[in-house]
Amino acid sequence: MERLQKVIASFGYASRRKAEDLIRKQKVMVNGEVVTELGTKVSPSDVISIDGVIINKDVKHEYYILNKPRSVISSVNDEAGRITVVDLIDTEARIYPIGRLDYDTTGLILLTNDGDFANALMHPSRQIEKTYIAKLDKVLTKEDILAIKKGITIDKRIVEVKRFKVKKRDLEKNTDIVEITIVEGRNHIVKRLFKGLGVNVVKLSRIAYGFLDIKDLKSGEYRNLTIKEIKKLYALTKK
């Protein structure tokens, strides 16, 4: 038996907190009865519906890797009507992105309708490496580079930098292109890290997530993850 909100989240329907809201709003039924108790527990044979739609029957899990273009939003819907990462994928499944990339950031993003998988990968304790290429509006000083490698503190928490290198330096234009690998997923973290040094990120792309890269995908292209990749990603969350 598992708590209802956890089960709703595991089907990728909503976060646990959102699921609790849905229960409070009496939108959730178990075996045809409206549930109002947040502590309600359910078993795999119980039929759960939200707004009258059954959510826990015949859900086939789907897993995608997408090379997100610029000017695409990392969410399921956008009130402003902008294109979302979900719009780029041809499926009927209720998929959503695992984590987010900024509107103007390009590169590797995973999508799924498997809530357990998404929650496992997004959990802050999971040290999954993410590698970014950033174009900066300044040439970094030696001190800047030392500070980055030592770890810059943002909101009282250090950003642990696993690897860092300057890939290209243009002294005439006063720009650097750098590659940085971090394990955390706070919003705008790469931009904020450089901002702390008085440097702006003018272009940002995520090129790797754990062992995955996007070398085989052009901007806007996607593919299904293989079973082997899904298993390997799950294994990363167990470390």
Catalytic residues: 102
DSSP string over 36-55 = --TT-EE-TTS-EEETTEE-
The CA distance from 157 to 200, in Å, is 20
Query: Is 72 an interacting residue with respect to ligand URA (CB under 6 A)?
Result: no
Number of residues that bind ligand URA (CB under 6 A): 8
Q: Of these, 101, 140, 148, 152, which contacts ligand URA (CB under 6 A)?
A: 101
In the complex, least distance from residue 178 CB atom to ligand URA, rounded to whole angstroms: 13
Instruction: Find all residues with CB under 8 Å of 66, minimum gap 6, and list them.
Output: 85, 88, 89, 108, 109, 110, 111, 217, 220, 221, 222
Query: Is 68 an interacting residue with respect to ligand URA (CB under 6 A)?
Result: no
The rounded radius of gyration (Å) of the Cα atoms in the chain is 20
Pairing of strands 201-209, 106-112: parallel
Query: Is 203 an interacting residue with respect to ligand URA (CB under 6 A)?
Result: no
Q: Which token pair is 216?
A: 């085989």
Q: Which stretch binds ligand URA (CB under 6 A): 20-28, 153-161, 188-196, 208-216?
A: 188-196
In the complex, least distance from residue 101 CB atom to ligand URA, rounded to whole angstroms: 4
Instruction: Find all residues with CB under 8 Å of 168, minimum gap 6, and list them.
Output: 176, 177
Q: Of these, 46, 78, 102, 116, which contacts ligand URA (CB under 6 A)?
A: 102
3-state secondary structure of 225: coil
Q: Of these, 76, 145, 189, 197, which contacts ligand URA (CB under 6 A)?
A: 189
Q: Which stretch binds ligand URA (CB under 6 A): 62-70, 100-108, 210-218, 228-236?
A: 100-108
Site residues for ligand URA, 103-142, by CB under 6 A, read: 105
Query: Is 204 an interacting residue with respect to ligand URA (CB under 6 A)?
Result: yes
Q: For residues 94 and 99, which CB has a smaller minimum distance to ligand URA in the complex?
A: 99
Query: Is 188 an interacting residue with respect to ligand URA (CB under 6 A)?
Result: yes
Q: For residues 195 and 232, which CB has a smaller minimum distance to ligand URA in the complex?
A: 195
Q: What is the dihedral of CA 174, 178, 183, 187, to 10 degrees?
A: 40
Query: Is 178 an interacting residue with respect to ligand URA (CB under 6 A)?
Result: no
3-state secondary structure of 135: strand
CA 234 to chain centre: 15
Instruction: Find all residues with CB under 8 Å of 58, minimum gap 6, and list them.
Output: none
Query: Is 179 an interacting residue with respect to ligand URA (CB under 6 A)?
Result: no
In the complex, least distance from residue 219 CB atom to ligand URA, rounded to whole angstroms: 15
Which residues are at the interface with ligand URA (CB under 6 A)?
Answer: 101-102, 105, 188-191, 204
